[in-house]
């Protein structure tokens, strides 16, 4: 009986270890992609350049700068919130998208960024942006180039141009400029937001976003 109890205890112990390891494995992505760094730059003078992807009026008094990753689930969850904010503040808010592909944990982060920029060279960055987030659960399982080419076809793009641009130095350099900026700012999580050049902790609701935007409008 004692031997049986020992075996049961041993089996239970190892089962618990396996469960704990499974939980750690399942949550590793969110842990890495949402942790905060004490070395992040709290504010900086951000200048809009002609190559930036912008939604909203040029003279908007409030600029929301987003560093994002197309394969990041948290980034995807914020997209409808950001769209609603733009609808609520049509004259006061502009959104600027910057690439921050977390390639060490998201194998499709960089390829999807390339796809968005290739579409952007044909005037459809935001259309590809929306499509990538809407279908994230599908393409992220196997982020192959042919899937992005299919998206390009769906958007009515010139496929040969898309294929050439996708792997071009022009696009690679543009994405690398964004990545270098994230390093200068000490960022290590997505999404990361700056509101009028000031770092904000990711709001947990649209109400928090609204309060922050209204505070900027008052100032």
**Local confidence pLDDT in tens for the 219 residues of the chain:** 444 344 444 444 444 343 333 333 333 343 333 344 557 889 888 888 889 999 999 999 999 999 999 999 999 999 999 999 999 999 999 999 999 999 999 999 999 999 999 999 999 999 999 999 999 999 999 999 999 999 999 999 999 999 999 999 999 999 999 999 999 999 999 999 999 999 999 999 999 999 999 999 998
Using CA atoms, how far apart are residues 108 and 147, in angstroms rounded to an integer? 11
Residue 12 tokens, joined: 């239970």
**Residue 57: which of 25, 93, 98 has the closest Cα?**
93
Residue 15 tokens, joined: 């089962």
Alpha-carbon torsion angle 169, 155, 126, 37, nearest 10: -60
Cβ-Cβ contacts under 8 Å for 82 (sequence gap 6 or more):
64, 66, 95
pLDDT for position 21:
37
pLDDT for position 16:
37
Task: Output phi, psi for 96, to 5 deg.
Answer: -120, 125
Using CA atoms, how far apart are residues 91 and 68, in angstroms rounded to an integer? 24
Instruction: Count CB-CB contacts under 10 A for residue 183.
Output: 10
pLDDT for position 78:
98
pLDDT for position 213:
98
pLDDT for position 49:
86
Beta strand pairing call for 62-68 and 53-55 = unpaired
- N-term to C-term CA, the chain: 75
């Amino acid at each position: 009986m004692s031997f049986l109890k020992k075996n049961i205890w041993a089996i239970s112990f190892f089962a618990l270890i396996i469960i704990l390891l499974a939980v750690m494995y399942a949550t590793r992505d969110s842990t890495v992609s949402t942790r905060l760094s004490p070395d992040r730059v709290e504010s900086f003078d951000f200048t809009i350049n002609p190559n930036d992807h912008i939604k909203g009026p040029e003279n908007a008094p409030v600029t929301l700068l987003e560093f994002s990753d197309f394969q990041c689930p948290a980034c995807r969850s914020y997209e409808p919130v950001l769209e609603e904010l733009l609808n609520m503040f049509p004259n006061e808010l502009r959104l600027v998208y910057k690439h921050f592909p977390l390639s060490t944990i998201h194998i499709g982060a960089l390829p999807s960024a390339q796809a968005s920029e290739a579409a952007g060279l044909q005037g459809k960055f935001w259309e590809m942006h929306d499509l990538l987030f809407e279908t994230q659960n599908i393409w992220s399982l196997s982020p192959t180039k042919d899937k992005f080419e299919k998206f390009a076809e769906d958007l009515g793009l010139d496929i040969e141009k898309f294929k050439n641009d996708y792997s071009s130095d022009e696009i690679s350099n543009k994405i690398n400029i964004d990545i270098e900026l994230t390093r200068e700012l000490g960022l290590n999580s997505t999404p990361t937001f700056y509101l009028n050049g000031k770092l904000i902790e990711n709001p947990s609701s649209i109400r928090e976003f609204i309060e922050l935007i209204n505070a900027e409008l008052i100032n």
